[in-house]
Amino acid sequence: MTLHYASQNTFNLTFQPWNGYATVEEFYNSYVDPSTNPGPQGDVIKGKGAATGTLDSRLSNFLVGPQGTDDSSGGEDGDDDGTGLNFTPYINEIYPDACRQCGARINKYGHVQGGREQMNHDFVLLRYADVLLSKAEAHFRTGDATGALGIVNQIRVRAGVTPFNSLTEDQLLAERGREMYVENDRRRSLIRFGKFNDAWWAKDASDAKYKLYPIPKDQLNANPKLTQNPGY
């Protein structure tokens, strides 16, 4: 669902993708911007093209840049990048005139040559990096920033970037975001760090009630002891 229509040719797929999910540019930039993610510098893709930025090994999570596909479906109305398929981290807008090649695409689980519509990717439920980052967060929240720093830097060294000299709450959340991308973690983390309801580029600030889901009406009707969550 993340691939462009013309990605069918790139990966020789038996179906045509929907041109769906992409990554918010600000989040992608948190990998390549040395002010937020210091590390060795080199050639990266940023904005609409080539740039110099941090060479984080986790950039393999994304498909960006020219995709080796030249197909007329890339030049449909609303696609300002032309006919050569070229994914840019830059996103002009969400609606109504979104560029159809804009947005870094998801590559964390790979794309199989000759793949079918129902692919058989393994999907992460829990891995050691999550355990480490959870431990680091526990240290941080109990006043042991030094202990948290050492654990976070284990993750950073493995990713090939520079260890932090100190650790703030924002850095801890950002590192968790970079590491746990597309692992069903972000919503819970943003809630814990008090950021879930904040405004961002394409979203106004939201009501605090959305930290909890509503209890389905059928369940409320079936159990009179249940009370609907506040705000619903």
Spatial contact of 94 and 201, defined as CB atoms under 8 Å apart = no
- pLDDT of res. 116: 82
pLDDT at 78: 46
Tens digits of pLDDT across the chain (232 residues): 899 988 888 898 999 888 989 999 999 999 999 999 999 999 999 999 999 999 999 999 999 999 876 554 444 444 555 668 899 999 999 888 888 899 999 999 988 888 888 777 788 999 999 999 999 999 999 999 999 999 999 999 999 999 999 999 999 999 999 999 999 999 999 999 999 999 998 899 999 999 999 999 999 999 999 999 999 9
pLDDT of residue 48: 93
The DSSP string of 65-118 is EEEEEE-GGGGSTT-TT-SEEEEBS----SSSS--TTBSBEE-TT---TT--SS
Instruction: Look at residues 7, 29, 186, 39 and name the one whose alpha carbon lies nearest to residue 110.
Output: 7
The two tokens of residue 217 are 């009406």
Residue-wise DSSP of the chain: --S-TTHHHHTT-SS-------B-HHHHHHHH-TTTS---EEEEEETTEEEEEE--GGGGGEE-EEEEEE-GGGGSTT-TT-SEEEEBS----SSSS--TTBSBEE-TT---TT--SS------S--HHHHHHHHHHHHHHTT-HHHHHHHHHHHHHHTTSPPPSS--HHHHHHHHHHHSTTSS-HHHHHHHTT-TT--BTTB----GGGGSPPPPHHHHHH-TT--PPTT-
Residue 13 backbone dihedrals phi, psi, to 5 degrees: -75, 155
pTM reported for the whole predicted model: 0.90
Residue 20 has a pLDDT of 85
Instruction: Report pLDDT for 230.
Output: 97
CA dist 201 to 76, 118, 204, 206, 230, Å? 26, 33, 8, 13, 27
**Can you say whether the dihedral through the CA atoms of 173, 179, 25, 48 is positive or negative?**
positive
